[in-house]
């Protein structure tokens, strides 16, 4: 690893002052690491910290890592690192530097904001302020991110909603841009019965109900879902088996993360302490 990235890990504010050449090098090096990962990241033992959308809230990311250092903890970010908040560039570049320093202990899942390159949306302040070259480099890098984390104690974690697949392993076969990919990166949950509830007419996001949740969780053999993406969702849904956390003050002041003891069986979200940062 280049000394430059170790320095950012020690002093995250250096991420505020990278030159374009340094950013291009960072993206190149990070791409090599993401190419070694499959869509599905298995987590075994120890303690894992789950972090919701940080959305340009560089301060939130710094606080999480200062409070729960790596590699003593495995840290999983659930996507949406850019847009909305004031410091998208520093946030994503700090996270990429952490990934280079701790490839086995820090995981960056894909959210819909990482996929601007294939499914653009508006507003997208981070993407729109990049020059053409950097926009293309970030777009191709961030489309390499993995899609989900699976733990040995009954948890699956991803950005939005569950993909309509037959098994956990089938997540590795999901193609970027497919309907199953869109379910993960764009999907919302709604309280109440029902399976697929249609796309929301305003946001375009696919909406899913409790019957879909129960059906897919049974197929995947999982008890608890940890996800983010939907800041207005109730923290616990569906028999307290669906936990929504959100870790950016770009939407609301409360920033939450979840702490997971990987050696303990998970039954509901009540087995997962949620902490403010
Ligand atoms: Mn999102």
Which three-class secondary structure string do you get for the chain? CCHHHHHHHHCHHHHHHCCHHHHHHHHHHHHHHHCCCCCEEEECCCEEEEECCCCCCHHHHHHHHHHCCCCCCEEEECCCCCCCCCCHHHHHHHHHHHHHHCCCCEEECCCHHHHCCCCCCCCCHHHHHCCHHHHHHHHHHHCCCCCEEEECCCEEECCCCCCCCCCCHHHHHCCCCCHHHHHHHHCEECCCCCCEEEECCCCCCEEECHHHHHHHHHHHCCCEEEECCCCCCCCEECCCCEEECCCCCCCCCCCEEEEEECCCCCCCHHHCCEEEC
Q: Find the mean pLDDT for residues 125-141.
A: 98
Q: How far is the CA of 186 from the centre of ligand 1 (A)?
A: 6
Q: How far is the CA of 110 from the centre of ligand 1 (A)?
A: 9
Q: How far is the CA of 230 from the centre of ligand 1 (A)?
A: 7
Q: How far is the CA of 112 from the centre of ligand 1 (A)?
A: 5
Q: How far is the CA of 211 from the centre of ligand 1 (A)?
A: 22
Domain of 86, CATH number, reads 3.60.21.10
Q: Find the mean pLDDT for residues 15-35.
A: 97
pLDDT in tens, 253-272: 899 999 999 999 999 999 99
Answer yes or no: is pLDDT of 2 > 80. no
Domain housing 118 = 3-276
Q: How far is the CA of 88 from the centre of ligand 1 (A)?
A: 14
Q: Find the mean pLDDT for residues 102-117.
A: 98
Number of domains in the chain: 1
pTM for this prediction: 0.97
On whether the CB atoms of residues 123 and 53 are closer than 8 A, the answer is no
């Amino acid at each position: 690893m280049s000394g430059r990235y170790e320095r950012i890990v020690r002093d995250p504010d250096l991420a505020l002052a990278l030159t374009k050449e340094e950013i291009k090098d960072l993206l190149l090096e990070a791409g090599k690491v993401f190419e070694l990962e499959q869509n599905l990241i298995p987590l075994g033992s120890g303690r894992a910290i789950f972090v919701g959308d940080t959305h340009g809230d560089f301060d939130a990311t710094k606080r999480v890592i200062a409070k729960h250092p790596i590699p003593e903890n495995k840290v999983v970010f659930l996507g949406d690192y850019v847009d909305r908040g004031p410091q998208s560039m520093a946030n994503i570049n700090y996270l990429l530097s952490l990934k280079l320093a701790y490839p086995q202990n820090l995981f960056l899942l894909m959210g819909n904001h990482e996929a601007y390159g294939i499914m653009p949306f508006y507003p997208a302040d981070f993407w729109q302020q990049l020059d053409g070259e950097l926009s293309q480099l970030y777009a191709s890098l961030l489309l390499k991110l993995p899609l989900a984390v699976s733990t040995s104690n009954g948890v699956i974690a991803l950005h939005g909603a569950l993909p309509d697949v037959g098994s956990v392993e089938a997540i590795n076969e999901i193609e970027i841009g497919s309907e199953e990919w869109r379910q993960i990166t764009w999907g919302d949950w709604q309280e109440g019965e029902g399976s697929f509830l249609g796309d929301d007419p305003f946001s375009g996001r696919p909406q899913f109900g409790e019957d879909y949740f129960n059906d897919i969780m049974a197929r995947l053999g999982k008890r608890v879902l940890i996800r983010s993406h939907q800041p207005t969702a109730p923290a616990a849904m569906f028999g307290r088996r669906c936990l929504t956390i959100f870790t950016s003050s770009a939407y609301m002041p409360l920033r939450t993360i979840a702490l997971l003891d990987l050696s303990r069986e998970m039954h509901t979200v009540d087995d997962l302490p949620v902490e403010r940062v």
